[in-house]
Structure 1
């Protein structure tokens, strides 16, 4: 009999649980349904980038249809108003849903701690709509301030306060500090009029990190970004555009509240036992609630560590608890006993603007530049898990090329866009070159007899090459060195090779050669050639046939525009092989530079990559998500059921 598993909430925990059930439960008779009020999954950890106008808002919301394409997961857009656990039924605004197993992953909401006026007057950064609203409001403040003549109103418009010096608050104020410079310039405002304030009642910023990292972040924000940091300062009340603290008043039109979360308001409809200040749902060590078959995960579930302390409301906890609950559901279906859900935190990273970050990974503090890289890698890994190659590609493109904020000199140049069809003639020319080179070798007998030794003469020393030519022609090969750079391990030589007949040069070609791992008389590449590639006629034939086939394949790939990036990398590899073995004549140097150019998507214009790459990504997704190889895909896309109102 088919079992029904319903997941409520498409946050980090809910998406992780749905992916796990689909991937690991493919042999189980299981119907999987994911219900959320929205049709998209929001990257909550990147909301500050939208609020600070670093990224377009579409970069932080990912269509659930795209995530669960080619899976067994049924998507329903609805909000659950009542959880009838006794009858194993969920009552939504549009329909009722029967289940055998339920994972509650409804997330959290900002906590206002009963501070008067805060919920009514402050902005929060906890949803897609929040981020867009903050961004639009900040832009409006600068535009109004640019026209405002009243000094007090102008000051209030240009004063921005962020409440909470945790991860979200610090990242938000960091984005705002960078964007404010551009906004001030665009609205003819002296940036010295802009006041950025970070307020927290604790005694240091980023209290979850070690003190050394906390001090490092504090210093960067104050010294480099000009942020005022008010610690041990609690907000007592907010009245209109006035914040009242124990140390005085701050007049501002903007307070962004990032000082803590509590269980989502939807949890009130659960009727489950809650615990702690945040009102999270009480669960046992398996993430199961007091009701059979019902699990609470992520920010709404109070899953505890060995000491009995609930795990922090962080992404790693959400993903791992979602996976753990899904695994226990599969165990129950298979008649096994649910197991303890273990959460392992690998580290934390906090980016303060574009170029600075602090992190603690596996107990190690990383330098700022590496922390920024790690933040990128973590996001790339997560997006790859839920979307395949498309997710990381789009993310890196948005972060490195399409970022909205001011860019430094190098970024302005490397992020300049060019239409791929301009590269079409170059790609075709490269393809013809490789194809003709391969065909030429076939006609010269590279498939029928040894040719590699003669072709590789330069790799075994100039004198050997000269002797070979002399014996064959009665002349010689004269090497006229132009210059060289000798670094012991790596040596670069540029010279003219002149073919001599009866003392006269009949040809003269410039070439370059790089010797790597060159120690005295030992040279790595010639050693490999002589002791392996040229060690026997069989090996020689194998390598020369391989080279010929590679040239033909590269030509066909480039001409058809198929896997152009790999073909371009292959071209660079061939150039590297030639320059370290036979030497590379100047009339082929252009190939290396052309290969770099065609790596940038040249096959998407008038090439098969336009169709092939999306198809390959779908094939990969089918393997990754469902552990099944699918080569053909129906035209219709996965839909989200939007039931009519009851």
Structure 2
């Protein structure tokens, strides 16, 4: 059978979602090929650009390499190129550097900020429609605050330190909130009073955050007021200049930083395909997300215009809308291939969430649950993480979690910095070395002398391993002797010390075991794993070797997380076996403490872990490139 090719243009939210789902559906159909074309070699998580612009996360946090996303998909070809035309008559997608025949094509080239022709925005303003624009904005803010800190002229100083966001939608609200979070760090770096750096949101409408329930919007507005963000309603910007902006009431406002977030329009690329367009240049589709000009061409995401409610507005240009349109299109592509009935687009919005900085958000879930603060912020993160689950990318989910929760500085995360890995791990080095030394000291008597565990002398005090005896009394006596490690001398035993619970050794008392006998379930498992003395002798030697290796690794700072976790696991096992005492329970929190990366300070993990991350990553995912040309991800 001749191979069929489904071409997807645009690696945005809709394009990645559709490519993953189609690749999964056709993974056992070698006659189907999915070709993903984008001008970048990465997918940009556009809804988090404000975090990059405000210096909260690494610059590459929103970049997700396509090779990583599709590294095991043999039926996906990646092409880094710019599409110039779609030859509908010959069913060919034409790029600047190639041609790709298609059976069906999905167009999801996205949108860009719309300044509605406002004078000066292009020359002096900033937008947040791409990764490059986020970096440009970040560098600009660093520059103007640095200049403002040493500016003597009061008017120029004020303009340099005033930051204005136009628009109170998702992007505008989240951007100004994140920049406000950055304020204190910027002030400290430039020896400024933080109050000098001012933030203003300007909205043409009489209300703000109009995508939210009014009560939720009011909560957000109160929070912004508490953060001293100046919110100005009924305020339109009519002109932008280098050091000031013109307002619709005829006045001016001093600022060297205007961030325009007051609307979006279809990518200009949409106009070159010769298809019918509607509001803001978006390509008009029918209810099946097909272009009304070509039933083999599906249009999804922000560039698509389906007037579902006949109100001239089209579906909202948000991530949920992009995913819904992509889901409809891919179902209909499959239905067409299989001769089945197509399904119409149906909007399904589970809620709306808006963050205002790293520690506060408002959320409306299913138009029923209204959250704010910590829980709303948590839900927003969970929704972001859910997308990576939907596209089967555990790698990107893992790194999202690291960057949002563990690699943030200056307390700018959900837990206010309490779980950040940027704490100084140097002070855990003594704990790590002490814990390793404890293992080695404990093993000293196990490797030499009469107490060696490398001889064929039973050291494990389990009753089923004891030699058979002639009477029940002597059997009980032998078991007791083995458990205590004391030899029977036939002489009268001295009075035993009182067994007492304690977390430190008490003179004159015997320490209390965590369990004086094994729980029944653990007894059954252990008896299966160690059924006789031969296995017991092997386990004694093996356990001793493992303990020595753990001790050496901890002292050297090698695989510290793994060896610390093994320490916790072994101590729990010893406790359940009835061979561990409360006075030594400190080993568990000590080992957990050493799991915080302590091996990277005066330890081998400083070099070994980065080496493994680099080489194992290349082995699994292949080498990343700036350009992908008809490249099939490695299998």
TM-score tier, shorter chain, comes to 0.7 to 0.9
Using structure 2 for the length normalisation, give the TM-score.
0.78
SS in 1 for 2:295: coil
**Corresponding position: 1:35 with 2:37:** yes
- Counterpart of 1:176 (choices 171, 174, 179) is 179
Between the aligned partners of 1:564 and 1:392, the Cα distance in structure 2 is 23
Shift of 1:258: 0.8
**Corresponding position: 1:596 with 2:615:** no
Contact 1:303 1:310 in 2 (8 A): yes
State the Cα deviation string for residues 317-364 of structure 1 (Å, max 9, x = none): 223432432233233223333323444323332221122111223331
Name the CA shift for 1:386/1:598 in 2 (closer, same or farther; >3 Å).
farther
Q: Which residue of 2 aligns with 1:520?
A: none
Name the CA shift for 1:279/1:39 in 2 (closer, same or farther; >3 Å).
same
Between the aligned partners of 1:472 and 1:310, the Cα distance in structure 2 is 89
**Corresponding position: 1:372 with 2:345:** no
Contact 2:164 2:199 in 1 (8 A): yes
Shift of 1:10: 1.0
Q: Which residue of 1 aligns with 2:424?
A: 416
Structure-to-structure mapping, 1:217-236, within 5 angstroms = 217-223=220-226, 225-236=227-238
Contact 1:450 1:541 in 2 (8 A): no
Name whichever of 415-424 and 363-372 sits farther off: 415-424
Name the CA shift for 1:594/1:616 in 2 (closer, same or farther; >3 Å).
farther
Between the aligned partners of 2:188 and 2:621, the Cα distance in structure 1 is 51
Q: Which residue of 1 aligns with 2:121?
A: 118
Q: Which residue of 2 aligns with 1:625?
A: none
RMSD (CA atoms): 4.4
Q: Which residue of 2 aligns with 1:69?
A: 71
Name whichever of 203-212 and 609-618 sits farther off: 609-618
Between the aligned partners of 2:168 and 2:621, the Cα distance in structure 1 is 49
**Corresponding position: 1:529 with 2:519:** yes
Contact 1:181 1:191 in 2 (8 A): yes
Q: Which runs of 5+ in 2 are unaligned?
A: 467-478, 631-635
Between the aligned partners of 2:455 and 2:111, the Cα distance in structure 1 is 67
Contact 1:533 1:539 in 2 (8 A): no
Shift of 1:69: 1.6
Name whichever of 170-179 and 604-613 sits farther off: 604-613
Structure-to-structure mapping, 1:202-217, within 5 angstroms = 202-217=205-220
Name whichever of 18-27 and 552-561 sits farther off: 552-561
Shift of 1:242: 3.1
SS in 2 for 1:250: strand
- Counterpart of 1:142 (choices 142, 145, 168) is 145
Q: Which residue of 1 aligns with 2:404?
A: 399
Q: Which residue of 2 aligns with 1:336?
A: 340
Aligned residues: 588
SS in 2 for 1:450: helix
Contact 1:47 1:127 in 2 (8 A): yes
Shift of 1:634: 9.5
Contact 1:481 1:495 in 2 (8 A): no
Between the aligned partners of 2:10 and 2:202, the Cα distance in structure 1 is 32
Structure-to-structure mapping, 1:85-484, within 5 angstroms = 85-223=88-226, 225-247=227-249, 248-275=251-278, 277-290=279-292, 291-303=294-306, 310-362=314-366, 363-386=368-391, 388-405=393-410, 410=418, 415-416=423-424, 443-444=457-458, 450=464, 474-475=492-493, 477-481=496-500
**Corresponding position: 1:26 with 2:27:** yes
Name the CA shift for 1:117/1:640 in 2 (closer, same or farther; >3 Å).
closer
Name whichever of 371-380 and 14-23 sits farther off: 371-380
Between the aligned partners of 2:252 and 2:205, the Cα distance in structure 1 is 18
State the Cα deviation string for residues 441-469 of structure 1 (Å, max 9, x = none): 995275996269xxxxxxxxxxx999x97
SS in 2 for 1:366: strand
Between the aligned partners of 2:435 and 2:32, the Cα distance in structure 1 is 49
Name whichever of 389-398 and 98-107 sits farther off: 389-398
Between the aligned partners of 2:589 and 2:353, the Cα distance in structure 1 is 37
Name the CA shift for 1:313/1:373 in 2 (closer, same or farther; >3 Å).
same
Shift of 1:567: 6.3
Shift of 1:257: 0.5
Q: Which residue of 2 aligns with 1:56?
A: 58
Shift of 1:70: 2.5
Name whichever of 343-352 and 289-298 sits farther off: 343-352
Between the aligned partners of 1:612 and 1:179, the Cα distance in structure 2 is 34
Between the aligned partners of 2:393 and 2:73, the Cα distance in structure 1 is 13
Contact 1:173 1:196 in 2 (8 A): yes
Q: Which runs of 5+ in 1 are unaligned?
A: 453-463, 484-492, 499-507, 515-524, 619-631
Shift of 1:369: 0.9
Contact 1:569 1:599 in 2 (8 A): yes
Between the aligned partners of 1:420 and 1:315, the Cα distance in structure 2 is 43
Between the aligned partners of 1:556 and 1:610, the Cα distance in structure 2 is 25
Between the aligned partners of 1:613 and 1:333, the Cα distance in structure 2 is 42
Name the CA shift for 1:215/1:634 in 2 (closer, same or farther; >3 Å).
closer
